[in-house]
Structure 1
């Protein structure tokens, strides 16, 4: 799956000349944590987020004016002053922004959001904003995909072979110990496992297989050291 498949097209944007009050009101009204800042040609200039508005003199959360002078150069001190006291978006926005292209894989984009701890990623093509990818977009795609998979029906033998293939690829169980039977989409797991974690993982494999209606458990828990069953069915 690619970013362009699930991104929000035509996202809300803000001008660098807008006031921070305008930007804050837009974020509140639409439950957004950030807005892309663009010019008239939709060229991405930066991002203004709720984090950019946390340290403000209006809230008495901004550092004292002279604080920066002891730790920053004069130029950096001036930039920090503007960042926390500027009345317009262009003065407080974050200019260095991580972006993705429309054809970026969703895996790569999700990894970026997780590593950077951000809620949204601008989607840019040749410098022009194409859309925004948010965690909400990812969750919406997940819900749609789960619903699609659950609505599909497959022959029992195909379901069983798909479950078997997934088990064979696992590194945490002995495939030869697991028995799989499928009747009208209902999976019956039999055989032996060495831990409750293994039992749960086998359930996940079966439940995530397309066409499965429900999963029955006839697995026995075996002590791998003593080699006997606890009689858990």
Structure 2
């Protein structure tokens, strides 16, 4: 996650006004901004959708309303933000981030350290760029960091082919149960789209 997240994060305090938030989004060309407490811990997110919702619930002189809508007076980040905020840690995988976004229906995740302080942001676009990773870089990481780190498996025993992010493993892996470990580790490598197991057991 640390490789794909945006580290220069723009944030606003809970008391930031609507105009300040709108200006922050426009100046930095972003679609949402985290709201942080005095300790830099995210407590919510304000997005363009939240601002549009605020605009939509204001009284329209051409439209008769008998009762005011509840959000019509929302004017600060604390009142506008979406909560609870869904976060992730820098050591999480891209797959974990994608699943969390999908599960919670969000387009971005604040990245927090062990103390819960904001250290980055990751958006859907950041995750999509991972799949543009060069095949040679993907293969090198699998050979060095996966095969080279698992006892009983090595580059001499297993050949790795990568084409458009699709990984194929050929060779021998012993014991047989170790193959599942290798496959799982390969799937966790950034840029891997799929893994095809063509290995066999030496026994």
- TM-score, normalized by length of structure 2? 0.58
- Indicate whether 1:140 and 2:104 are aligned: no
Change (3 A) 1:146 1:33: farther
Measure, in 2, the Cα distance between the counterparts of 1:86 and 1:93.
10
In the alignment, structure 2 segments of 5+ residues that lack a partner are 141-158, 162-166, 172-192, 197-203
Q: How many residues align?
A: 152
Greater helix percent: which structure? Answer: 1
Gaps of 5+ in 1: 69-80, 152-157, 167-203, 209-233
The residue number in structure 1 matching 2:51 is: 53
Are the structure 2 counterparts of residues 111 and 61 from structure 1 closer, same or farther at C-alpha, using a change threshold of 3 Å? Answer: farther
CA distance in structure 2 between the aligned counterparts of 1:141 and 1:130, rounded to whole angstroms: 20
Larger radius of gyration: 1
Worse-matched range after superposition: 85-94 or 138-147: 138-147
Change (3 A) 1:121 1:25: same
1:129 is aligned to 2:129? no
RMSD of Structure 2 on Structure 1 (CA): 3.8
Q: 1:25 aligns with which of 18, 23, 26?
A: 23
Q: Which residue of 2 aligns with 1:115?
A: 103
For the structure 1 residues 147 and 21, does the alpha-carbon distance in structure 2 shift closer, same or farther, using more than 3 Å as the test? farther
| Structure 1 residue 122: Cα displacement | 0.8
Give yes or no for contact 1:33–1:119 (8 Å, CA) kept in 2: no
Distance 2:128 2:88 in 1: 18
Residue 109 (structure 1) shift: 1.0
Query: What is the aligned partner in structure 2 of residue 171 from structure 1?
Result: none
Provide the residue aligned with 1:91 in structure 2: 79
1:163 and 1:10, CA in 2 relative to 1: closer, same or farther beyond 3 A?
Answer: closer
